[in-house]
A and B are shown apart, each in its own frame.
Chain A
């Protein structure tokens, strides 16, 4: 029996944020057409989670910070190239492509929460473009989540680790030589 060394990567707040967002998005999506009260509560929960995450992006634990995982377009493209050639290195935090996806997910969800709330204000009550933007962002989010899941599965297989379990326990296999810490 061999026990593998692991390192802490995702702090508890990141994990609560993640699974809370999954839950609130799912509930909001399922109730969008006809259970308005539940839809609004789920939307506010998601909005609160996003606001918290934005703060964590600047002042959170090392792997939660935007500066840790937001890379330049050049780096993203070169990572994509290395992926195609099966040469991509293992990242302990988000890889450059994953980091980009994380930002898309956070911003899209923030935009959805914002345009949803706007529709309850006097100024934007019943204003059609806000409603249309809200729905378009929700559809974008749905597509992004699908790509996100594909990425998680792909990276898990590529580096022989269970990233979903890591987002639950917060721990990942200790870095090997060549991994990006």
Chain B
């Protein structure tokens, strides 16, 4: 496109805006609506994702947590070889080989030591 043509088309557009202010307003509103929908979808997804990650498997106030050594002792008493215990999703998460020698990843309520979730593979 030559510079002259470009200028002409820009002027044409300006003219159209002046003459046809109403149509432009309608377009603008449609545009705003579309942006709102896109943005709210993004924000909604982010909020949902945030809620999903924030949702904890266990809900126990810190003062009620038993020491992790107690969990280790309990599991070892059941014949487990405990590799590591960490806190995750509000629970204790233990990596261990259970009595059958299977690899397990298990979540325990930090107050009652009830198993909340357990994955194992051999």
A residues neighboring B (CB under 8 Å): 122, 125-128
Contact = CB atoms under 8 A, between A and B. Distances in A.
Does more than half of chain B's interface fall in helix, strand or loop, or is it mixed? strand
B76 interface: no
B84 A122 contact: no
Nearest to A36: B119
A125 B81 CA distance: 11
Contacts, number: 19
**What are the nearest 4 A-B pairs in CB distance?**
A126-B95, A126-B83, A125-B103, A126-B84
**Most chain A CB atoms below 10 A, which of B94, B96, B103:** B103
5 contacts: A125-B83, A126-B84, A126-B95, A127-B84, A128-B84
Interface in B26-54: none
Contacts of B97: 122, 125
Given A126-B95, A127-B95, 16 more contacts: A122-B97, A122-B101, A122-B103, A125-B83, A125-B95, A125-B97, A126-B83, A126-B84, A126-B94, A126-B96, A126-B103, A126-B105, A127-B83, A127-B84, A128-B83, A128-B84
Contacts of A126: 83-84, 94-96, 103, 105
